[in-house]
C-alpha cells in the first residue's frame, strides 16, 4: 500500500494515511466531527448557510465544512502574484503549488482557493481565503465542525498513470435544491458518473453512469468525466449542463439521475478539439443569459443559453471542429485558470499571462 502525507488545514502537520481504493462492494459512509483531515483538495462549492463543500479526490470523499461567518473584510481585492504569496505562506516555491479551484462565498464575497502543496506522496492540501482588503489567510480547520460522505465505487489509485483515475473521483460539484450534485469517475465499466447526494449528507448511492456522443471523436464515450457543470432550468425542468474534454457541451435532465441507471446526455455543442474546460458560470447581461467557460487552450467562451432547450442533438461525427451552439471568444480575458462570479456584474479570476509568469487574482467585468 502507498502512503501519503495529510494536512490538517492551517497547521501543516503531517501524518500517515492509506491511499488505497475501498473494495468495490464497500458501502458509502458518513462521518461527523470537528477538525477534518483531508488527503487532498480539489473542487469547491458553497451551499446554504455558508457551508463550504470541499472534494478530497484521493480520499474519494466530500466534506461539508461549517466555516461560520467570516470576520474578514467583505469582498475580494485584486492580488498580484497571488501564487507567489501563497507559496511563501506555505514555505515553498510557486512551482511547487498547484491551485485546484477558486470559489466565492455568496454572502461575504470573500474568495476561497484550494491548493495542493508539493509533489507526489509529499503533496498536502491547503485552503486559503482572500478578503476585500487583499489579505490572504491560511484557513485552519482544527475547530471547524464537519460532515463527510464517501463515494462507494471510487477508482483505484494509479500513481504511475499520466492521469490517475483516483485523482478524478470528483471533478466538479454544485449544490441545488437540497442536493449536492457530483461529477467524477467510478471503478465501474461505464466509469463516468453523476451523483445526487442529499444534504445534510446521507450515504452516497452508486450514482448514475453517463455516456455522451462525442461529435469530434465520432463515437459514444463512457469513460471521460464531466469536467465542469452548472445546474440549469429548461422550462420547469432542472438540468445539468456539463463540459467534456475536446469539448462537447451536454445536458442531462436531473430526473434521469437515478442510482444504478445508465443515461445518455444530449450533446448540444461541439466547441473544438484539443481542449479541456476548466470552469463555467451563468450570468445575465443586457437582458440576456450567458454561460462563461474558461478552457485550457481556446480562451474564455461566452455561450448564449437561449438555445439550450431546443438545439438539435449532435448524433453524427463532426468534421468541422465546432457544431451546434456557437460561442464568442473573449479576447480581453487571457490566461484564465479559474473563475467564479464575484457579483452580478463581475467575475473573479486567476489569470496567468504566460508559462512562468505570476498568477494574479483579479476582478473582471462580465463581458
Question: CA-to-CA distance for 143 and 5, rounded, in angstroms?
Answer: 20
State the Cα–Cα distance between residues 149 and 66, nearest whole angstrom.
15
- Residues above pLDDT 90, as percent of the chain: 86
pLDDT for res 27: 83
Q: What is the pLDDT of residue 162?
A: 65
Q: Is the pLDDT of residue 138 over 50?
A: yes
For residue 160, the model assigns a pLDDT of 63
Distance CA 245, CA 242 (A): 10
User: Mean pLDDT, to the nearest integer, of 297-321?
Assistant: 96
| Grid cell locating 47 | 451551499
pLDDT at 42 over 90: yes
For residue 20, the model assigns a pLDDT of 38
Q: Residue 143: its pLDDT value, please?
A: 92
- Cα separation, 212 vs 110, whole angstroms: 36
Q: What is the tens place of the pLDDT at every residue in 163-193? A: 778 999 999 999 999 999 999 999 999 999 9
Average pLDDT, the chain: 91
Residue 52: strand pairing partners: 46, 65
153-171 per-position pLDDT tens digit: 999 877 666 677 899 999 9
124 has pLDDT over 80: yes
The predicted structure's pLDDT at residue 13: 33
Say if residues 293 and 303 touch (Cβ distance below 8 Å).
Answer: yes
Residue carrying C-alpha cell 502512503 = 3
pLDDT, residue 159, reads: 62
Whole-number Å distance between alpha carbons of 82 and 138: 13
Q: Where are the domains of the chain?
A: 1-18+31-150+331-367, 174-284+295-328
Output the nine-digit C-alpha cell for 168: 478524478
Task: Summarize the confidence of residues 284-304 as an average pLDDT.
Answer: 96
What percentage of the chain reaches a pLDDT higher than 70?
92
If pLDDT is split at 50, 70 and 90, which confidence band does 125 have? very high
Q: If you average pLDDT over residues 1-22, what whole number do you get?
A: 38
Mean pLDDT within 275-282: 97
Q: What is the rounded average pLDDT of the residues 311-324? A: 96
The answer to whether the beta carbons of residues 226 and 211 sit under 8 Å apart is: no
Q: Are 321 and 270 contacting, i.e. CB atoms less than 8 angstroms apart?
A: yes
Alpha carbons 343 and 88: distance in angstroms, whole number: 29
- 202-244 tens-digit pLDDT: 899 999 999 999 999 999 999 999 999 999 999 999 999 999 9
Torsion sign (Cα): 13, 173, 109, 340 = positive
pLDDT at 8: 43
| pLDDT tens-digit series, residues 139-150 | 999 999 999 999
Amino acid at each position: 500500500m502507498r502512503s501519503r502525507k495529510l494536512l490538517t488545514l492551517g497547521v501543516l502537520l503531517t501524518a500517515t494515511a492509506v491511499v488505497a481504493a475501498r473494495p468495490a462492494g464497500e458501502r458509502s459512509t458518513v462521518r461527523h466531527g470537528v477538525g477534518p483531515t483531508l488527503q487532498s483538495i480539489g473542487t469547491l462549492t458553497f451551499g446554504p448557510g455558508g457551508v463550504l463543500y470541499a472534494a478530497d479526490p484521493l480520499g474519494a470523499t466530500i466534506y461539508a465544512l461549517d466555516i461560520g461567518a467570516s470576520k474578514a473584510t467583505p469582498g475580494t481585492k485584486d492580488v498580484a502574484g497571488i501564487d507567489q504569496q501563497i507559496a511563501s505562506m506555505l514555505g515553498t516555491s510557486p512551482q511547487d503549488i498547484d491551485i485546484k479551484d477558486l470559489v466565492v462565498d455568496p454572502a461575504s464575497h470573500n474568495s476561497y482557493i484550494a491548493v495542493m502543496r508539493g509533489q507526489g506522496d509529499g503533496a498536502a492540501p491547503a485552503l486559503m481565503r482572500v478578503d476585500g482588503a487583499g489579505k490572504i489567510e491560511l484557513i485552519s480547520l482544527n475547530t471547524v465542525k464537519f460532515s463527510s460522505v464517501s463515494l462507494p465505487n471510487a477508482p483505484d489509485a494509479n500513481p504511475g498513470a499520466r492521469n490517475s483515475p483516483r485523482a478524478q473521483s470528483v471533478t466538479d460539484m454544485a449544490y441545488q435544491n437540497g442536493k449536492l450534485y457530483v461529477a467524477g469517475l467510478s471503478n465501474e465499466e461505464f466509469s463516468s458518473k453523476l451523483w445526487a447526494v442529499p444534504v445534510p449528507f446521507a450515504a452516497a448511492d452508486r450514482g448514475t453512469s453517463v455516456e455522451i456522443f462525442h461529435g469530434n471523436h465520432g463515437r459514444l464515450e463512457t469513460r471521460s468525466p464531466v469536467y465542469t457543470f452548472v445546474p440549469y432550468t429548461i422550462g420547469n425542468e432542472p438540468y445539468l449542463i456539463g463540459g467534456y474534454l475536446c469539448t462537447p457541451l451536454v445536458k442531462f435532465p436531473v430526473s434521469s439521475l437515478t442510482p444504478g441507471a445508465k443515461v445518455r446526455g444530449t450533446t448540444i455543442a461541439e466547441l473544438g478539439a484539443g481542449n479541456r474546460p476548466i470552469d463555467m458560470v451563468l450570468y445575465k447581461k443586457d437582458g440576456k443569459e450567458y454561460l462563461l467557460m474558461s478552457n485550457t487552450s481556446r480562451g474564455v467562451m461566452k455561450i448564449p443559453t437561449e438555445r439550450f432547450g431546443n438545439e438539435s442533438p449532435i448524433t453524427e461525427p463532426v468534421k468541422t471542429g465546432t457544431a451546434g451552439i456557437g460561442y464568442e471568444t473573449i479576447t480581453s480575458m487571457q490566461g484564465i485558470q479559474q473563475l467564479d462570479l464575484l457579483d452580478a456584474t463581475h467575475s473573479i479570476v486567476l489569470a496567468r499571462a504566460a508559462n512562468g509568469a505570476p498568477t494574479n487574482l483579479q476582478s473582471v467585468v462580465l463581458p
